[in-house]
A and B are shown apart, each in its own frame.
Chain A
């Protein structure tokens, strides 16, 4: 119950102001198609440099939470999901809006997001300290395998091709080795002066998430999406609350599904929303109504995609292994403030950790309160032409990456990685495992070197890295995640039609 002692810190004028700013800004950014939560958080990191660690994390956490919820606005009113997490929301949310129930759909969306989100953050609050204590038993070999696990799980589960996902992870791990070696001081892979100090994580994150999106907008050319905002009529909030209570089953399924999926590294909100929607339909006596503007589908999808936010941070805060791309970006935000998450985070920086987690809890309530008022503005922002969005994001990416160390080298690295990532994505590679590799690379290497030293002084490399129940368990999980993904890939291919293969 330690978290209760730090609740007051959330309500200091600066912290609460930042929480409000992050929540309202996140709702608007989330509604903007093409601005994913990960990209929004990555672009916000440079603005946290001058803030204290807890303040910076409050801003980033609030933006993360509310961009996921804000994506529902454009999904409901424009049929364009603001983020991949909101794909399932469009299925019933937009149909409700077309039937003149836009306000009701928005109210249900924010209410169920808040319920799911609060449950998810409570899970984060109660699970994190337990896991952090358990993680104290981890030695260098276990941390090495955990880092590899982080890359392989996201590489295999988050990508449509297991091999390309793992290859993306390898590219990330290699990029992390560029620069001077920490122990020998040797130069490694420095083929351009801009890489002398290694690849700056923040610049890389901005490039890898923002630039491919900018080029994707360019690739669409000079066309108008023609998406029109559906006007909403007033709807009493009390009626929406009653409707929510009538859909308790869908809310429960969404919340539990989202929380469980959030805990699994690599499985994002998009999957949480779709799985919850599907499960809710299976358990519903009115399953035929799904897809025709049925509130149950909307409630299940929205409670799930916000319920996964809190649990997705558990592996990050306990084991310093980001469970999702957005968690990886948040890790970047922690590292720039000299805070390294992991076993001793709650001993060394309890004020930062608990203020951040508590702010996410309060943020869920604020998101629900403000969501309904901001929805109208957010829907207008969602109509901003892609040409403007592309130019704005490019400008922010250049200024943001420069401001990290006032170095043009970081801008070049950001642009080069971004352009490379766009083309790699066209060939089926994925940014998430690459980012995880880049972030977890130094953790994996440091523990590998430390473990090698211990191994050489004791039993040797093989017993040290491949022996012991915990090592074997982690290796088994690595292999199982790859095998499962390969099996799923083969199975989906078995059902691919001949026409699809020919095309």
Chain B
């Protein structure tokens, strides 16, 4: 396996995951009852699994021509932001409260990806001001204008 390039390995993993999902959909569609409820899913699952296995076979044989995969550099760049975003969506928004979690996540993401230097006081001040402005706009739009009641939880 050591001679398999990173993009090819990624294609094998990616199309493999899709193929596994396709097989699962097909198995569920053909085994679950009542069968009438799975008539249409069966139709889709059959095409789904054939195309997914075809794609997987092409990836294994190295015939995949489309899709660049993800470089190590891209992965390193996106990982911190993705982790912050996932924590924000799947835990903080409900656990801390929508507005406080959004403000924290917004500020962290801004700090992580803002090209301005991290050593300059002015750039930190700018980030705080941008976060405050954004939160004011979000509150105005969703709480005041659209009357959306968001989870308040620990903070707000």
A222 B32 Cβ-Cβ under 8 A:
no
B77 A218 Cβ-Cβ under 8 A:
yes
A318 to B10, CA, bound (A): 42
B65 A161 Cβ-Cβ under 8 A:
yes
List of B residues within 8 angstroms of A301 by Cβ: none
Asked if A338 is at the interface of the complex by the 8 Å CB criterion, the answer is: no
Instruction: Mark A202-229 against chain B: 1 for CB-CB distance below 8 A, else 0.
Output: 0000000000001101111111100000
List of B residues within 8 angstroms of A395 by Cβ: 102, 105-106, 134, 138
B115 A49 Cβ-Cβ under 8 A:
no
Asked if A394 is at the interface of the complex by the 8 Å CB criterion, the answer is: yes
B52 A167 Cβ-Cβ under 8 A:
yes
Instruction: Mark B36-52 against chain A: 1 for CB-CB distance below 8 A, else 0.
Output: 11111101110110011
A376 to B28, CA, bound (A): 56
List of A residues within 8 angstroms of B37 by Cβ: 181, 183-184, 186, 188
A215 to B43, CA, bound (A): 34
B138 A449 Cβ-Cβ under 8 A:
no
A220 to B78, CA, bound (A): 8
A426 B51 Cβ-Cβ under 8 A:
no
Asked if B97 is at the interface of the complex by the 8 Å CB criterion, the answer is: no
Of B34, B39, B40, chain A has the most CB atoms within 10 Å of the CB of B40
List of B residues within 8 angstroms of A373 by Cβ: none
B39 A403 Cβ-Cβ under 8 A:
no
Instruction: Mark B51-91 against chain A: 1 for CB-CB distance below 8 A, else 0.
Output: 11011001000001111111001111110111001101110
How far in angstroms is the closest Cβ of chain B from A361?
A: 28
Of A163, A170, A411, chain B has the most CB atoms within 10 Å of the CB of A170
Known: A189-B25, A402-B98. A426 touches B68 (CB 8 A): yes
Known: A423-B14, A427-B14. A391 touches B109 (CB 8 A): yes
How far in angstroms is the closest Cβ of chain B from A187?
A: 9
Q: Which of A126-180 contact B (CB under 8 A)?
A: 159-161, 163-164, 166-167, 170-171, 173-174, 177
List of A residues within 8 angstroms of B18 by Cβ: 167, 171, 424
Known: A163-B51, A215-B78, A390-B81. A408 touches B151 (CB 8 A): yes
A388 to B149, CA, bound (A): 25
Asked if B144 is at the interface of the complex by the 8 Å CB criterion, the answer is: no
A395 to B102, CA, bound (A): 7
Q: Which of A342-392 contact B (CB under 8 A)?
A: 385-388, 390-392
Known: A387-B110, A408-B94. A428 touches B67 (CB 8 A): yes
A183 B115 Cβ-Cβ under 8 A:
no
Asked if B4 is at the interface of the complex by the 8 Å CB criterion, the answer is: no
A188 to B44, CA, bound (A): 13
A391 to B48, CA, bound (A): 35
List of A residues within 8 angstroms of B22 by Cβ: 170
How far in angstroms is the closest Cβ of chain A from B67?
A: 3
Asked if B155 is at the interface of the complex by the 8 Å CB criterion, the answer is: no
Asked if A445 is at the interface of the complex by the 8 Å CB criterion, the answer is: yes
Asked if B136 is at the interface of the complex by the 8 Å CB criterion, the answer is: no
Asked if A330 is at the interface of the complex by the 8 Å CB criterion, the answer is: no
Q: Which one of B14, B75, B112 contacts A387 once the chains associate, using CB atoms below 8 Å?
A: B112
Known: A170-B44, A181-B37, A415-B90. A386 touches B70 (CB 8 A): no
Known: A394-B85, A411-B93. A406 touches B148 (CB 8 A): yes
A222 B93 Cβ-Cβ under 8 A:
no
List of A residues within 8 angstroms of B105 by Cβ: 391, 394-395
A15 to B88, CA, bound (A): 37
Of B52, B64, B68, B82, chain A has the most CB atoms within 10 Å of the CB of B82
Known: A163-B54, A449-B39. A428 touches B106 (CB 8 A): no
Asked if A458 is at the interface of the complex by the 8 Å CB criterion, the answer is: no
A219 B148 Cβ-Cβ under 8 A:
no
List of B residues within 8 angstroms of A426 by Cβ: 10, 14, 67-70
Known: A167-B51, A428-B64. A174 touches B25 (CB 8 A): yes
B148 A399 Cβ-Cβ under 8 A:
yes
How far in angstroms is the closest Cβ of chain B from A202?
A: 13
How far in angstroms is the closest Cβ of chain A from B8?
A: 11
A387 B44 Cβ-Cβ under 8 A:
no
Q: Which residue of B lies closest to A155 (CB)?
A: B51
Asked if A452 is at the interface of the complex by the 8 Å CB criterion, the answer is: yes
How far in angstroms is the closest Cβ of chain A from B22?
A: 8
Asked if A493 is at the interface of the complex by the 8 Å CB criterion, the answer is: yes
List of B residues within 8 angstroms of A214 by Cβ: 81, 85
How far in angstroms is the closest Cβ of chain A from B34?
A: 5
B93 A215 Cβ-Cβ under 8 A:
no
Asked if A398 is at the interface of the complex by the 8 Å CB criterion, the answer is: yes
28 of the cross-chain contacts (CB-CB < 8 Å) are A159-B66, A160-B66, A161-B66, A164-B66, A166-B51, A170-B47, A170-B52, A173-B44, A181-B37, A186-B32, A189-B28, A219-B70, A221-B73, A222-B77, A223-B115, A387-B113, A387-B114, A391-B105, A394-B105, A395-B134, A398-B102, A399-B138, A402-B148, A403-B146, A411-B93, A415-B90, A426-B68, A496-B65
CB-based closest 10 A-B pairs: A428-B67, A428-B66, A387-B113, A218-B81, A221-B77, A186-B37, A181-B37, A170-B48, A218-B78, A161-B66
Task: Given contact pairs A170-B51, A391-B110, enumerate 6 new A-B contacts (beta carbons under 8 Å).
Answer: A184-B37, A223-B115, A394-B85, A406-B148, A426-B10, A448-B40
